[in-house]
Each structure stands twice: as C-alpha cells, then as structure tokens.
Structure 1
C-alpha cells in the first residue's frame, strides 16, 4: 500500500520537519561514530560480508595495486569483543567484486559478482566451526549477476535484482539450505542495481540503487509469508518512478534525499540504517528508518571519509561500516555507530 507524507497535526509536522530535513546542524543529530581497529587485509571496496554469532566475516572485493585494480579471494573475521581481525580460509571461487552474501542456519553464503570479464552465478557455503567452504547450487538464472542484493529470513536466503551483464533485473529467488535448491519468488516492482537492504522482524526493506543509469527512489517491504512487495515512503519527495507515475511528494518544505547506490546498512533496536553510498558524489549522510511509522530520521553523519561500496553489518546491537572507495582510493578503516551516544557524551 502506498503511503504519502501527510501533515495531519501540528505535532506531526514539527516531528517531520525535524526528522526529514537534511539541513540540521550535524552537532544536533543523534548518535556517534567511533573508529575501531582497521581492517587487517588490504584496502578494498565492493566486498561481501555476513555475520554469524556476533562475528563479522568480510572478503572478496576490489583493491588498487599501483595503477591496476585487482579482485580478491581473501576472507577475514572481526571479533568486536577483542576489536581485532583474524584471517580465515580464503574464498575458493573466482576472485570477484560486487558479490552478495547472507547468513542462514549458522552458515555464511557468498556468490554472484564479476571477475571483470565474466558475470558469475556460482554460490559457496562457509562453515565457521570447520573453517571450510563448499560449493552449492548455482544461482538459477541463465546468466550470472553482479550488484545484486541478498538477505535471509527464517533460515532461507533471498537474492535478486542486479545486472546480468546486459540488463538490470528485478527478479528474486529463495534458497532452501536443506534441499540446496532455488525457487523463484515474487519479483520486485522495478529493476535496480546496487540497491540496499535491511531486515526487521522478518520483513526485508529494499530500496535505492539505479535503473539503467537513473537513480531509483522507490522503497519496498518484502513479506516472505505473503510473497508480496509493499510500497513504502519514497526516498525522494518529488520523485516519480517508472512503475507509478503518481507524484510521491510535492512540498518544498521537505528537503531530504535518501536516493543512493552502494550504501552500507545495519539494524539497531528494530530500526534500519543506511549510510554512505553515492548519488552523483560520495556521501556521508546517515538515516534511520522506523518501520512502524514508515518514517526516516537523519542521524549523525558518518565520520570517516565519504565513500561507496562499503560493507555494513550489526554486532551486539551496534552498527559497523568497513572498507569502501572514495574516488580511486580504496579504504581499510572500520567505524562503529551507537545511536544512544552523541559527540557531546
């Protein structure tokens, strides 16, 4: 069901203007970022990451070696209790970037991406207890996919969107870890590459990205039980989208723009967060999404270098952002976000 921003009371208007304006002073924004132990591998962007038992795993991606760009297979894990990184078994597939990853049934899953020449469709399963990888069923499309999006709900993985080497896509598939099979589910309502996703209460929220080079403003919630996509508040107040010509919002008082590709995401206390990414230039703005109200609020800007292609994950109810790219520079820093502290604390 489409939801429009509406001012039904003076109180709501005050909250809306405070929450959806990107013009507020950074010092007044909630939350705070602190730098953690640098990623111990080489700097990179477009890496894949997943979390198992409050341990983050990060690997593959792009690095810059002198004047060339090199794709990677090394993998690392981060323990927040030690604030330290540890090398694990290398990813056994082809070196790649723009792969996807998810966690299901206590194991990590990594697949798709590109090696610079080929668009890949293979998938691999990582078992932390034995520190081993094994290949599983390929993604079930004729062509591979890069710049796709992945998430897990109820111990099943879901993968969709991205580009197959020729066109942006909107189809989605569910992976059954028990039967090692893929099944097509309902497609998203618009094509996109490099979108973002976070999962709250067994609902996946997918938005952003680009479609044939144009920024996408639509934002949807996927309910796996009903197998439906429900439209949520647009990421840009005056944007229109190909699947819906109705103007989402037309009020110059609402000055916000959450459209972006390749941001990092995480979830804290039932709220979704997006940060960094690019929209004609690299970004550092950070926004919090409340699924109960379908409402976005700006929080403290990311305090590292503005970037795209970073990895985002949640550990012990805190948000983390690692690696990424700013211009031609690949990065290796790690930052933690706590919404309950501020720069003044």
Structure 2
C-alpha cells in the first residue's frame, strides 16, 4: 500500500510546535467537566458503548470483584444513567467485547467470559423493541466449523454494514470481517495490513474508518491506517510516534498506547487515557485533513485504562475504566475547543 501523501507543511509546523508541556499550559486547549450522575450499575472496565439517536448505551465489562457483567444502561445529558434490558440469559457475561450500530440497531459481540473463553456470538438491540435478539455468530463463511472467537477487537460501521477487526485469541489478530444485517451473515474482507494487535481503537469520519494504537507481544504499535470500505482497501498514514527523522511534525508525538477510549466530534477524533508503560491521562486530537495529531488538555479525572468514550449532542463523554485496584463509574465531558476552567 502507498504511504499517504504529505499534507500542508504550514499546519505541520504549527502543530509540531505544540509540545506536551505547552498542552498543559494552553488555556484554549480544551476543558474537561465532571458533575454527571454515576452509573446506575457497577463500577467497571472493559465495557462497550454505542450511540443511537440522542442516547448512549453502555454495558458488559468486569467489576472490581472480578465479576463479568451483562447489564446495560442508557445515558442522556438530561436524565443521566438508567437501566435497560440486560443481555439475555443465553448470552455470556463478558468483558473486552465490541459494538457497532447499523441502521439504528446495535450489535454487541465477542469478548471473554468468566471462564476465560473467548466468544464469537452477537446480539442485536433496537430501542424501538427494547430487547435483545440473537444474531449470527462470527464464523468463517467458507468454513462454518472455524469460529473466530476473540477479545479486545475493534468494531465500526460504514454505510449500514458492520466490521470487526484485529483482537486476541492465543495471540494478536489482523483479520477483518464484514457483517451485512440484511443477510445476517459475515463475510471475509481484506486483512488489516498493519501489525497484528489487540486493545486498539477504531473510529469513522465521513465513511472512512481509521485504526490506531493497540498492543502485541507487549509492544504498543505506532503504525496508523485508514480503511476505505467501498474499495476494501487499507492505506497507511503517518505513524503516531516520532519515527520520521527528516521532519519535525512528530517530535512530540507520544500517542502509542493500548486500551484507550476514542470519540469523534466535528470530523476530528479524540483518543484519551489508556496504557503506555503506566496508566495514561493524555488526550490527542486527530485531523484527517492534515493527517496530523495535536495534544489536548489531559483527562482531569483519575488516570485509567479500559474506559469508553462517546459523543452526544456534539459533546464528548468519557466514562468507566480502571487503575490498579480501582474501578470507576464516573462520567466526564470534554470540549476540545473550550477555555480551561479549573473549577469544573
């Protein structure tokens, strides 16, 4: 695959000047705000989250007692968190699962259960129905006996079709599978062309998917890719670490991590928290027009990994996660363009 072209040199130089120390001092580099109701369920990490309309839905994960969860809650800015239907009894409680939304229906699947087994089942939830329905398992359409169980994968949706990629099952994975709701079937797509990994993030901006971060063999991955679903084509972008000795734009890049949270606002992506040696509070903004990253104000809650992020009403939220023996049920909002307010 070709390298993405070099973008706007002037913007590159401007962004390169925003080093990590500058980020913490810049009043206009974003503002985190607490004050939202705590989850109605357990403190947890390794959950899934999805958004349908003006409501976010969060569920599954693992709590501080090591119990795997199957409950779900919904969140609106006005009402906070309230319970909805749990995954049905036929669905294992799980952590490290994935979720995507296609045409107003959410699909949740994969992950690991309390016995340590990786999973390949999928369950659909529609707010109009208010209950979960069993869907096709993630299996190879050319070999139905080959299940594709995994945990810590990524998932996304483009134009009404869902995608599951990477993850871990006795080692890192790089395969990609497409789900077509009308068929209730999975189809093989071109494998991810970057390094195998788990605990990565994926996001979609204007029908283009992006895959970044993640870990394999205890090494955080620095390669960054976009996926053109219509063409089934992976294109490599600039690395997310200081690997270009000929230019300065990446001198302060320290983005590589695992188990981070990601959300999209105004056609830019925001990666926050996660693990990079230790537990991180860093927040980075990605602009696909320039293929450049800029550091924003670090997360102002407790450093954590295994959190989730989502966007509602053009506001980014980050919730849950863990740090050592602490598990969280708090929720913060983030405005990347706001002036910092130390009282929030």
TM-score by length of 2: 0.91
The more displaced of 140-149 and 283-292 is 140-149
For 2:252 and 2:6, the matched residues in 1 are separated by: 13
- Change in Cα spacing, 1:316 to 1:249, as seen in structure 2 (3 Å) is farther
- Change in Cα spacing, 1:210 to 1:13, as seen in structure 2 (3 Å) is closer
Partner of 2:25: 27
Partner of 1:64: 64
Partner of 1:242: none
Partner of 2:139: 140
Determine whether 1:118 maps to 2:117.
yes
Partner of 2:186: 182
Out of 211, 216, 228, the position equivalent to 2:216 is 211
Please give the secondary structure, in 1, of the residue aligned with 2:112.
coil
What is the root-mean-square deviation of aligned Cα atoms in Å? 1.8
Query: Structure 1: which 4+ aligned runs deviate by more than 2 Å?
Result: 3-8, 11-14, 16-19, 248-253
**CA apart distance, 1:340:** 2.7
For 1:25 and 1:216, the matched residues in 2 are separated by: 23
Partner of 1:339: 336
After TM superposition, the structure 1 = structure 2 runs for residues 31-180 of structure 1, keeping only pairs within 5 Å, are 31-35=30-34, 36-65=36-65, 69-82=66-79, 84-92=80-88, 93-116=91-114, 117-141=116-140, 142-164=147-169, 166-180=170-184
Please give the secondary structure, in 2, of the residue aligned with 1:73.
strand
Please give the secondary structure, in 2, of the residue aligned with 1:332.
coil
Cα offsets for 1:115-163 (capped at 9, x unmatched):
1421100000011112110110001142411000000110111001001
Gaps of 5+ in 1: 239-247
Out of 272, 277, 282, the position equivalent to 1:280 is 277
**CA apart distance, 1:13:** 5.8
Does structure 2 retain, via aligned residues, the 8 Å contact 1:4–1:233? no
**CA apart distance, 1:344:** 4.4
**CA apart distance, 1:218:** 0.4
**CA apart distance, 1:186:** 1.1
- Change in Cα spacing, 1:264 to 1:140, as seen in structure 2 (3 Å) is same
For 1:127 and 1:186, the matched residues in 2 are separated by: 29
**CA apart distance, 1:113:** 0.3
TM-score by length of 1: 0.91
Out of 194, 197, 206, the position equivalent to 2:199 is 194
